[in-house]
Structure 1
Amino acid sequence: MTYPVRFKLDPTVDGLELVRQWMDAGLEVGGFLQRLGARPVEAREGFVRFLLDVDVGHLNLMGIVHGGVTAAIVDMAGASAVMTVLTPGQTLATTDLTTRFLNAAPGGAKQLEATGTLTYRDDRKATVAVQVATDTGVVVAQGSVGVAIRAPR
Structure 2
Amino acid sequence: MSSDITSHIGFRCEPAPDHPGWLDWDLEDDTRFNAVGLGRMILRCEGERSARVRLLDVERRHSNLHGNVHGGVTLAFIDVAMFATTFSVLGSEIYGAVTLDLHNQFIGAGLIGKPLDVVCEVMRETGRMVFLRGTVEQDDNLVSSFLGTLRKPSAR
Q: Which residue pairs with 1:22 in the alignment?
A: 13
Alpha carbons of structure 1 residues 117 and 104: separation in structure 2 relative to 1, 3 Å: same
Residues 1:41 and 2:43 aligned together? yes
Per-residue displacement from partner, 1:84-103 (whole Å, max 9, x unpaired)? 31455853111111111000
Q: Which has the higher contact order (CA 8 A, sep 6+)?
A: 1
Per-residue displacement from partner, 1:35-93 (whole Å, max 9, x unpaired)? 21141321365322211121110001111110011111111121222223145585311
Q: Which residue pairs with 1:114 in the alignment?
A: 118
Identity of aligned residues (%): 23
Structure ranking higher in helix proportion: 1
Q: Unaligned 5+ residue runs, structure 1?
A: 1-13
Q: Which residue pairs with 1:139 in the alignment?
A: 142
The RMSD of aligned alpha carbons is 2.7
The residue type paired with residue 77 of structure 2 is I
CA distance in 1: counterparts of 2:143 and 2:86, whole angstroms = 22
Q: Which residue pairs with 2:64 in the alignment?
A: 60
Q: Unaligned 5+ residue runs, structure 2?
A: 16-23
Q: How many residues align?
A: 139
Q: Which residue pairs with 2:131 in the alignment?
A: 127
2:86–2:94 CA contact under 8 A, matched in 1: no
The residue type paired with residue 39 of structure 2 is G
The residue type paired with residue 114 of structure 1 is V
